[in-house]
Amino acid sequence: MSTTDQDYGFMMLKLEDNPVIDKILYNIEAISKNKPYNQVCIFNSSNDKINSHNVPIFHLNQSKFFFGNLFLFDIQSAIISKSYPNIYKRYFYAATVPWEKNLVADHREWSDIFNAENIEIIAQNQYIADIYEICWKKPILIAEDFTYEKIKSILE
């Protein structure tokens, strides 16, 4: 792995003051502390967060210039990052089944997102993992909470 393969960006379109976002930010800070020689940053377009846990936050526009691995937390991020040329791996944290809500989308559109060569799926639970495995590909990890301890195996 080259050094840019070990840099980590986190695409979070909205940062709000709520416990779920706080927990994710806390764990992104833990990644930053445990990997001091790697770049760790967040890309977003709407920030209502007061405490960012000492993690650099850049506007979403800057993400297309990022070299490294990108963690995605929603389907919009997966769509936006699909054409980024400098991303080694994209890790999609699947907490929901997005095609369940958008039944008008073409199967090909979903296939382009989830069968892309550089995307890996992290499922929030076994139920979500089973659905993604049946429809697209087997998740590389099941992590009920997005914590450093749960995902550190894929950060190595």
Q: What is the pTM of this model?
A: 0.89
Least confident among 20-24, 32-36, 76-80: 20-24
Instruction: Give domain limits for the chain.
Output: 3-155
pLDDT of residue 4: 52
Please provide the CATH number assigned to the domain covering 3-155.
Answer: 3.40.50
pLDDT in tens, 139-149: 999 998 888 88
pLDDT of residue 140: 96
Q: Are strands 57-59 and 40-44 parallel, antiparallel or unpaired?
A: parallel
Q: Which amino acid is at 25?
A: L
Residue in this structure with the two tokens 């990108």, named with its chain if needed: 70
- Establish how many alpha carbons lie within 13 A of residue 29's alpha carbon, considering only the half-sphere containing its beta carbon: 11
CB atoms < 10 A from the CB of 86, how many? 12
pLDDT of residue 5: 59
